Structure 1
Amino acid sequence: MPENAGALPRLSDLSGLYDGVLSDVWGVVHNGITPYPSAVEALVAFRRAGGHVVLITNAARTTPHIVQMLDDMGVPREAYDAMVTSGDVTRALIATYKGQSIHHVGPGSDHPILEGLDVAEGPAATASAVVVTGLDDPAQTPDDYETRMGEWLELGLPMICANPDKVVEVGDKMVYCAGALADIYAARGGTVALAGKPYPPIYKESLAALEKAAGRAIDPRRVVAIGDSVRTDATGAADAGVDFLFITGSIHADEIDAFGNPDPEAIKALVAPTGARLAGFQSRLT
């Protein structure tokens, strides 16, 4: 990692230090509506220099659906070798309820996570588990689910959370994600299963995808994870044994004055409790 692990002018400054990148998507590559051109250029340049890029996202949909979303946004496939989504790894958890009914919470666009699995979708009263891919409406908050979560607890339903993120950047707003409900449910005594960042399954799949793209084994110490969340991206990088490049201009932008006069020591202090090895920080990936 860079000796000072401070502000990083360009991703290309790390090219000689790392063979692979695990890059977050929402808040790093795009804002939920449009791509960040500098981020796309940075990933393309890293690959052209001989590196490999795997996009790793807590999106509750499967890889083909997110790839199509990026295509529609104009993110070129030249920017990445492969992708692993929380939806991909969460399907394995849902599959354990084969032949049973599950209660789905989240937008209709997340339904593909259930496709091809032998589970029925029904009301909570007849379900064996609750699968939360997000809030039903982006205007909602976790407070809107207080009564429903009480019912799930009374029924003793375990929760499968397909997206551990608490919030995500959509345009110039922050929208609540499934992780916000999962945190409350667990705090109230509910059982919660998660497979996305920062948990090991998604990193195991992502590192395997990186090695497949490279056609050889890659030392995790030669991999840097890029992300905008201390809670998921920094923690996950630390647990996976890879370095962390912190994109400060999204979830944590206000608290560390990312676009004003950020204090490098304050940024390091924010990341430090996770144990992540900080490779540097940028307000936007460049």
Structure 2
Amino acid sequence: MNQTIPALDAISDRYDVLFCDLWGCLHNGRDVFPDAARALIRFRQGGGTVILVTNSPRPRPAVRAQLGQLGAPEECYDDIASSGDAAQAAMAAGQFGRRVFHIGPERDLVFFEDENGGPIDVTRVPLEEAEGVICTGLFDDRSETPEDYRLTLMRAKARGLKLLCANPDIVVDLGHQRIYCAGALAALYTELGGKSYYFGKPHAPIYNLARTRAETIRGARLREESILCVGDGIHTDILGGMGEGFDTLFVAGGLAAEETGIKDGQPDPEKLKRFLEREKLSPTATIGFLR
């Protein structure tokens, strides 16, 4: 049964491991949330393990570097599991061919490098020469929408190409601007009749990766009830965590801040109830902002 809590400390002693979302929970793409960082540090100081589980299309080293640039304290997490990690493994295995058409910004080119910065055995080519499509995002997510890609995706569909979606998120908030992610393009491709493949939340591959990394750190197998999934994405963090049998903590002040009526740091009880009923999902607990 969902309960609204004032702080992570109210329930943290029930869990050994947090699978914590990044965007909307620890930062907004520009600034780290100090209260969230402190909450994660306290959890680790109490013996817990924090795996940052993110739908970023960038592999772990690039996510770690980005966190450093934003000023996230290194002591607020133990390891990272990204959608980029899980999707990159599928691409490297040749599941989408060795000649691929890439949709995404230049900053995502690290997706085509291994953890040591070396090239992966995949070549980026024009759409007409591609064996598959790799989508890490929009070329310009500040100004473009999925509709700008309709013709390109129709051409890919006509050629029967599979699309790897490296970030299942539909939108995120960059500061105060809401921008589209790779998941929005993958959804359009599916709508057009194409086949889209996902590796981040709410899909199993990223949870398997996060669990493996947590178990390596703790040196023991983890029970489902010892893991808490924290996030603001009702269709990614919460749906994915529930699907894996984990408890979930919904951060209502992120993507759903307007729908849940955030005021004085907490959601309006009636608006939150209506929102969760509409989404047909029931997180274990809800918090306004991670703290």
Aligned to 1:110: 108
The 5 A counterparts of 1:212-227 are 212-227=216-231
Deviation at 1:6, TM superposition (A): 2.1
What TM-score, normalized by structure 1, do the two folds share?
0.94
Local SS of the residue matching 2:148: helix
1:136 and 2:139 are equivalent in the alignment: yes
SS of 2:14's partner is coil
Select the residue among 145, 158, 170 that pairs with 1:166: 170
1:43 aligns with 2:40: yes
Aligned residues: 283
Partner of 1:32: 29
Q: Pick the aligned partner of 2:127 from 111, 124, 127.
A: 124
Is residue 150–residue 188 contact of structure 2 (8 Å, CA) maintained in 1? no
Instruction: Determine if contact 2:224/2:245 at 8 Å carries over to the other structure.
Output: yes
For residue 27 of structure 1, what is the amino acid of its counterpart? G
| Distance across 1 between alignment mates of 2:78 and 2:182 | 27
Runs of 4+ that moved beyond 6 A: none
The DSSP-based 3-state class of the residue aligned with 1:174 is: strand
SS of 2:214 mapped into structure 1? helix
**Kept after mapping to 1: 8 A contact 2:261/2:272:** no
* 1:268 positional shift: 4.6
Matched residues, percent identical? Answer: 36
Cα distance change of structure 1 residues 51 and 277 upon mapping to structure 2, 3 Å threshold: farther
Letter in 1 for 2:284: A
Partners of 1:6 and 1:264 within 8 A in 2: no
Q: Which region of structure 1 is more displaced relative to structure 2, 75-84 or 7-16?
A: 7-16
Cα pair 2:252 2:267 within 8 Å, conserved: no
Other-structure match for 1:176: 180
How far is the alpha carbon of 1:50 from its aligned partner?
1.2
Task: Give me the whole-angstrom Cα distance separating, in 2, the residues matched to 1:104 and 1:257.
Answer: 39
**CA deviation profile, 1:132-156 (whole Å, cap 9, x unmatched):** 0000002110111111111111111
1:262-273 alignment to 2 at 5 Å?
Answer: 262-264=267-269, 266-268=271-273, 270-271=275-276
SS in 2 for 1:217: coil
Give unpaired runs (5+ residues) of structure 1: none
Check conservation: 1:106, 1:134, Cα contact below 8 A.
yes
Q: Deviations over 1:157-186 (max 9, x none)?
A: 110000000001211111100000111111
Match of 1:259 in 2: 263
Is there any run of 5+ residues in structure 2 with no aligned partner, and where?
114-118
TM-score, length-scaled by structure 2: 0.92
**Amino acid across the alignment from 2:17:** G
1:186 to 179, 184, 190: 190
Shift of 1:265: 5.0
Partner Cα separation in structure 2 for residue 254 and residue 200 of structure 1: 29
Q: Where does residue 116 of structure 2 map in the other structure?
A: none
**Equivalent in the alignment of 2:71:** 74
> What is the root-mean-square deviation in Å for CA atoms of aligned residues?
1.8
Query: 2-side partners of 1:238 and 1:165: how far apart?
Result: 17
